[in-house]
A and B are shown apart, each in its own frame.
Chain A
Amino acid sequence: MKKFTKLLACVLTAAVMVTAVGCGGNTETTENTETTENTETAGEIVMATNAEFPPYEFREGGEIVGIDVEIAQAIAEKLGYTLKIEDMAFDSIIPAIQSGKADMGLAGMTVTEDRLVNVNFSDSYVTAYQAIIVKADNTDITGPDSLTGKKIGVQLGTTGDIYSSDIEGATVERYSKGFEAVQALEQGKIDAVIIDVEPAKEFAKDNANIKVLDTPFTEEEYAIAIAKDNEELLNSVNEVLKELKESGKFDEIKAKYISE
């Protein structure tokens, strides 16, 4: 009996921890596994995202909007679900999908080998690149080659983080939020920020103190993350993505948020 109690205690502790992790730092609605399991029967599809990544996902008047949100909305409509958005820390998205707390992850997420070990990815829907942001008066940093030995700010767990960790002699400061890295850059605490190009432009748009370099850091493809054991959803998502691209609806959504 005593052994059983101990085992139970361990299992409960582990369960609590796993749940806590899955929910991430700033989940909007906390849910336990039971209710999420019911969502499919209730006709809901849960999208995990990190709504601090304009123009792909960001908050506007309390609502989460953006390119990814509209794509997810279109997918949900085609498949006959209602869309539910869970906002969490970027590095919690994949664990949330793995543990079944969310059905798909759209967060401007690049396909990388490490991530492919843990989740499946749909066909890519955007080709993006990692951009370098520096202070407007900086003439020292002109491209990826001049980053050696510099202080670089990134968002934890993003591709910018993973790739910049390989830069020789550079100190990488990993912020929880992209805008905090930009803030630190403005205050002169770091030399450069490496982040996806669209948010980079968005950050620089209303800010005369910083500029986005024309030379990209790396190129990459965004795709939708889906749990390994959910091939069915993966196939239908791919079909819908194809439809959206062919019908021109996709470019429509893009044009709404990105003005060239």
Chain B
Amino acid sequence: MYNPVLLDMASTLQNYKERFILNFISDDRWKYLVNGFFTTIKIAFFAVIIGIVLGFFVSIVRSTYEMNRNDRSKGKVYKVIMGILNFICRAYLSIIRGTPVVVQLLIIYFVIFQSVSIDKVLVAVIAFGVNSGAYVAEIFRSGIMSIDKGQFEAGRSLGFNYFETMVYIIMPQAFKNVLPALGNELITLLKETSVSGYIALEDLTKGGDIIRSRTYDPFMPLIAVAIIYWVVVVIMTFLVGKLERRLRNSDH
């Protein structure tokens, strides 16, 4: 093996410059990356919102069921309804967490929306949102369960009803506890959207792939794509960290 870097620095640099022009400048190829980047961000952003909303409700159902299952004061009707809701949530978690996101994406595109012409960004948002919801639900539930039972009882004895106690006392504390895990999930979600190319959606990864299929140069497009993802993740990590510190202000 010879190392061209050591042999001839100047010609290597020239070579890199030519490849840079070939991969990004000629034919306006950089547009694939820019458009792909915005598509990726669009998918990730809306999927996060769906994921958090879905995860919030599923986690409330799951933890309410867990906390009240041995409570004799609840009526039979209440128990049956909660049982059914809990069953639905558990089925959702099991199916979504038990199958790969690529398969879910393909099922949603080719099976569920079989005979409809639907915007592919929407398909991806649904697929990744529903997928993320399952993970967020369990993250939230771990947060709710981590709050001491005394906090809940204190809320109830202050005259809050169940829902108010959840919203004003349990959730704010739970949210702070789960923030690192939640940030982790957001990062994972952003990177998981890189499989959107499977349904011919031109996201960032696919943009790199298209350039690669035109120039046959794996290095530049892939490294560029990797750097863009990395920068986005670094920014996200920074923002989550900042939020975390703000929430810790009230800690003693």
Binding site for B on A (CB under 8 A): 14, 17-18, 21-22, 91, 94-95, 98, 114-115, 117-118, 153, 156-157, 161-162, 173-176, 180-181, 183-184, 187-189
Which secondary structure characterizes the binding site on chain A? helix
Q: List 10 A-B contacts (CB under 8 A).
A: A21-B222, A95-B216, A117-B216, A156-B213, A157-B214, A161-B213, A174-B202, A176-B197, A181-B200, A184-B200
Give bound CA distance, A110 to B209, whole Å. 19
Q: Say yes or no: A91-B212 contact (C-beta < 8 A), given A174-B206, A175-B200, A183-B110.
A: yes
List residues of chain A with CB within 8 A of the CB of B114. Answer: 187
List residues of chain B with CB within 8 A of the CB of A183. Answer: 110
Q: Is B210 engaged at the interface, CB distance under 8 Å to the other chain?
A: yes
Give bound CA distance, A176 to B200, whole Å. 7
Q: Is B198 engaged at the interface, CB distance under 8 Å to the other chain?
A: yes
Binding site for A on B (CB under 8 A): 110, 114-118, 197-198, 200, 202, 206, 209-210, 212-216, 218-219, 222-223
Q: Say yes or no: A188-B213 contact (C-beta < 8 A), given A17-B218, A95-B218, A176-B198.
A: no
Give bound CA distance, A98 to B114, whole Å. 40
List residues of chain B with CB within 8 A of the CB of A22. Answer: 218
B117 touches A189 (CB 8 A): yes
B222 touches A115 (CB 8 A): no
Q: Say yes or no: A188-B115 contact (C-beta < 8 A), given A153-B200, A173-B200, A174-B210.
A: yes
Q: Say yes or no: A174-B222 contact (C-beta < 8 A), given A115-B216, A187-B110.
A: no
10 nearest A-B pairs in the assembled complex, by CB-CB distance? A157-B213, A21-B218, A91-B213, A173-B200, A118-B216, A94-B216, A175-B200, A95-B218, A189-B117, A156-B213
List residues of chain A with CB within 8 A of the CB of B110. Answer: 180, 183-184, 187
Give bound CA distance, A156 to B210, whole Å. 7
List residues of chain B with CB within 8 A of the CB of A98. Answer: 216
Q: Tell me the nearest residue of chain B to A161, going by C-beta.
A: B213
The smallest C-beta distance from B177 to any residue of chain A, in angstroms, reads: 35
The smallest C-beta distance from B197 to any residue of chain A, in angstroms, reads: 7
- Which of B202, B210, B215 has the most chain A CB within a 10 Å cutoff? B210
Give bound CA distance, A180 to B198, whole Å. 9
List residues of chain A with CB within 8 A of the CB of B117. Answer: 187-189
List residues of chain A with CB within 8 A of the CB of B202. Answer: 174
Q: Tell me the nearest residue of chain A to B115, going by C-beta.
A: A187
Q: Tell me the nearest residue of chain B to A162, going by C-beta.
A: B214
Give bound CA distance, A95 to B215, whole Å. 10
The smallest C-beta distance from B21 to any residue of chain A, in angstroms, reads: 14
Give bound CA distance, A184 to B110, whole Å. 8
List residues of chain B with CB within 8 A of the CB of A117. Answer: 216
Known: A18-B219, A95-B212. 15 other contacts (CB 8 A): A14-B219, A17-B219, A17-B222, A91-B209, A95-B218, A114-B214, A115-B216, A117-B216, A175-B200, A176-B200, A181-B200, A183-B110, A184-B110, A187-B116, A188-B115
List residues of chain A with CB within 8 A of the CB of B216. Answer: 94-95, 98, 114-115, 117-118
List residues of chain B with CB within 8 A of the CB of A157. Answer: 213-214
The smallest C-beta distance from B157 to any residue of chain A, in angstroms, reads: 58
- Which of A157, A161, A162, A181 has the most chain B CB within a 10 Å cutoff? A157
Give bound CA distance, A115 to B214, whole Å. 8
Give bound CA distance, A188 to B216, whole Å. 32
List residues of chain B with CB within 8 A of the CB of A180. Answer: 110, 200
List residues of chain B with CB within 8 A of the CB of A181. Answer: 200
The smallest C-beta distance from B111 to any residue of chain A, in angstroms, reads: 10
Give bound CA distance, A188 to B117, whole Å. 6
List residues of chain B with CB within 8 A of the CB of A14. Answer: 219
Give bound CA distance, A154 to B116, whole Å. 19
Give bound CA distance, A162 to B216, whole Å. 13
The smallest C-beta distance from B19 to any residue of chain A, in angstroms, reads: 12
Q: Tell me the nearest residue of chain A to B215, going by C-beta.
A: A114
List residues of chain B with CB within 8 A of the CB of A187. Answer: 110, 114-117
The smallest C-beta distance from B49 to any residue of chain A, in angstroms, reads: 26
List residues of chain A with CB within 8 A of the CB of B223. Answer: 17
